[in-house]
Structure 1
Amino acid sequence: MKILIRLPNWLGDVVMSTAFVATVKQLYPDAQIDAIIKKELSNIVPLIPGLTQIHPFSKQEFSGLSGVYRFGKKLRTERYDLFFNLPQSLSSFVMGWATSAKKRVGFGKEGGSFLLTNSYKKPANVHRVDEYVSLLEQFTGKTLPHEPVKLNAVTTSPKQTNQVLINFNSEASSRRMPLDKGRALLNTLTSTFTNTTFCLIGSSKEAVFVSQLIIGSENSDRLENYAGKTDLPGLCNLMAQSTAMLTTDSGPAHLANSVGTPVIALFGAGNEHNTAPYNKQNLTVLRYGKLTCEPCVRNTCKLYGVPKCMELLDELQIINALSLYLNHA
């Protein structure tokens, strides 16, 4: 049997889909399981256990619905038996239909579900990981064990004692740490944990924001800037070597959680019941929790401009959470 999975379009969702891939592998242990993924994220796929072949998809090269149809049609020669669609977008429905896979399985959505052979209702108010696995449960009619989220970091380096990764970035401004709050937090962290090195991460386009955080911070000799200097496999390895990670609600939170690094996740606009890192071991989720608007699940803060839910996060709670993994000095 040959199975094709259309993986999600965002880093965090791709990490959360690893539990789905693991469950497919358990259900079909002798099958070849391939994946379609956005080209920009394709270098993380070799770290996902259970996949055989990768089909990177570029929106620039295959633009519009006609483009995704051409891309899907290219895969007809693979003769897939099963196509699982996770993004729930019209373009992904068209792509799956174009592959001519015998069965095309996904959550129905107005305007696209007729392109599936097996269309199911997406469950409401469940974690994204459980949502994905429920697609398999509805398709097979079985209650399935929900596997942990897992990526295979390839590092051979030992854990770095008292090295903490910090990610204050997010694609959504409502989930990003405000600049002044971020600097204040860095000052509190470096003055509290005097034997600890703090490594700030981010993509190339987030490098300016990370530099602004560091400029003017106290104890900057213990702040290292990795923004724009790692690819996704390298970032996973850096996470696997670190003592812990302090992060906003973002893709890197899921990356660290998937390689077993302790995570303190700071939530504001996002809903932790749907999108917090999935593995509960060594996970602390913190939010301010006293504003009537949180979680608003918006990408921008409509009420205050700068997200007050992030500005008001309790620094003492953050220090106490990190203290579980660090030695005071």
Structure 2
Amino acid sequence: MKPSLPANPHHIAILRLSALGDACNLVPTIRALQRRWPQARITWIIGKGEHSLLAGLSGVEFVVYDKSTGIAGMRALWRELGDTRFDVLLHMQLALRASVLSLGLKADVRLGFDKARAKDAQHWFTQHQLPAHPNAHVLESFMDFARALGVEDDRLEWNLTIPPEAYHEARLISGEAPYLVINPCSNVRLRNFRNWTVEGYASVIEHAWVQHGLTSVLTGGPSPLERDTGVQIQALCQPGSVINAVGDTSLKGMLALIDRARAAIAPDTGPVHMANAVATPALGLFATSNPHRSAPYQWREFVVDAYPRAVRTYLDKSVDDLAWGQRVRHPDAMLLIKADEVIARLEALLAHTAAEGTSDER
């Protein structure tokens, strides 16, 4: 007989290893669980980089798994949790590696995605699946786990921990004048194709500097592609209009930079969701992925959405013809986004949030 989902769980496990943006989108689910069961223990099995971003999250015990350690790392994690039994395991990672990892965890019941959302046969590794939720945003898909356990209060709350030293790091980079954060590159991986042009970013930086007196701070990881992109953008900009901090921040420092920024601009990548999580106005640039699924949740109306054009141009279809979440894997898709579109959305975003001012006190 299939075990029932617990009515009053005492120890909840969450299995979600990656990525940075998804980890940010999951936090409201944790807060909803904490509001419903404030005495329950919550253990989050998480990736190494994601943990460095979310370390200190209140009421959460983290167990870090470094996927580069392979099966040896799995065995080490199983030994670490060998004496721990969970009332329920929320299996939120759609990857075979994570499902194999889940086999070594002790849980009374395992809850995963419904078949329509499950990939890599995840439903084979769980006893309960979520109710169907067609065309759900990633954040809503995570919140469905709390709803499946009976949580009704699903309002959004993050309260991420940013230590004083991270704000100090941010101030050393940005100074005290108002600024934008621009994270020009997404993750460096095969057939990602989410990056916009250096010329486009330079045009936006020029506009923000001339029209609003806003310096732009470039952020990103230390990969050669990201560093080179930052150098190329800076070379096209007026002196003083841009600060190139690509590869030069910790993740907490980047989060602090974003938290203090007037707004953040990025393609479909972690920093645009980090902005969403700290209530910084976020402008997402989308052509290869569907913003209705993965835009910064609270700023969806301000995205630049070239996804329908990319679907027509490179797949010869309409969005309605595609499976939910299908990407346009073409290297020229982001070229469909024009600088004038981004500038217009930035103007709308700045006008919408003008009454809020900046957050220089942080």
Please report the TM-score for the alignment, with normalisation by the length of structure 1: 0.84
Aligned-pair CA distance for 1:226 = 1.1
Q: 1:211 aligns with which of 227, 231, 253?
A: 231
SS in 1 for 2:161: coil
Structure 1 residues 178 and 47: CA distance shift in structure 2, 3 A = farther
Aligned-pair CA distance for 1:253 = 0.5
Matched, 1:262 2:281: yes
SS in 2 for 1:204: coil
AA paired with 2:198? L
Structure 1 residues 47 and 213: CA distance shift in structure 2, 3 A = farther
Structure 1 residues 292 and 42: CA distance shift in structure 2, 3 A = closer
Matched, 1:123 2:152: no
Question: How well do the aligned residues superpose, as a CA RMSD in angstroms?
Answer: 3.0
Structure 1 residues 97 and 319: CA distance shift in structure 2, 3 A = closer
Name whichever of 13-22 and 129-138 sits farther off.
129-138
1: distance between equivalents of 2:45 and 2:161? 19
2:7 — aligned with what?
Answer: none
Aligned-pair CA distance for 1:187 = 2.9
Number of equivalenced pairs? 318
Q: 1:90 aligns with which of 96, 119, 122?
A: 96
Aligned-pair CA distance for 1:175 = 2.2
Aligned-pair CA distance for 1:275 = 1.0
- The 5 A counterparts of 1:3-82 are 3-51=12-60, 53-61=61-69, 63-64=70-71, 68=74, 71-82=77-88
1: distance between equivalents of 2:248 and 2:336? 30
1:301 — aligned with what?
Answer: 330
2: distance between equivalents of 1:315 and 1:59? 36
Q: 1:162 aligns with which of 167, 178, 196?
A: 178
Paired residues of 2:281 and 2:299 also in contact (CA < 8 A):
no
AA paired with 1:4? A
Paired residues of 1:264 and 1:286 also in contact (CA < 8 A):
yes
Matched, 1:226 2:255: no
SS in 1 for 2:284: strand
Structure 1 residues 102 and 113: CA distance shift in structure 2, 3 A = same
SS in 1 for 2:147: helix
1: distance between equivalents of 2:201 and 2:135? 31
SS in 2 for 1:60: helix
1: distance between equivalents of 2:336 and 2:17? 28
2: distance between equivalents of 1:307 and 1:43? 30
Structure 1 residues 236 and 312: CA distance shift in structure 2, 3 A = closer
Gaps of 5+ in 2: 1-9, 313-318, 358-362
1: distance between equivalents of 2:218 and 2:129? 43
1:99 — aligned with what?
Answer: 105
Matched, 1:286 2:304: yes
If each structure's helix is expressed as a fraction of its own residues, which one has the higher value?
2
Name whichever of 224-233 and 112-121 sits farther off.
112-121
AA paired with 2:228? V
2:316 — aligned with what?
Answer: none
AA paired with 1:59? K
Paired residues of 1:8 and 1:17 also in contact (CA < 8 A):
no
2: distance between equivalents of 1:256 and 1:107? 27
Structure 1 residues 292 and 224: CA distance shift in structure 2, 3 A = closer
Percent identity among equivalent residues? 20
2: distance between equivalents of 1:272 and 1:111? 25
1:179 — aligned with what?
Answer: 198
Paired residues of 1:160 and 1:243 also in contact (CA < 8 A):
no
Q: 1:241 aligns with which of 243, 260, 270?
A: 260
Q: Deviations over 1:169-202 (max 9, x none)?
A: 1127432112232233333333333x32211111
SS in 2 for 1:98: coil
Matched, 1:317 2:344: yes
Structure 1 residues 323 and 38: CA distance shift in structure 2, 3 A = closer
Aligned-pair CA distance for 1:30 = 0.6
1: distance between equivalents of 2:109 and 2:308? 47
2: distance between equivalents of 1:114 and 1:182? 45
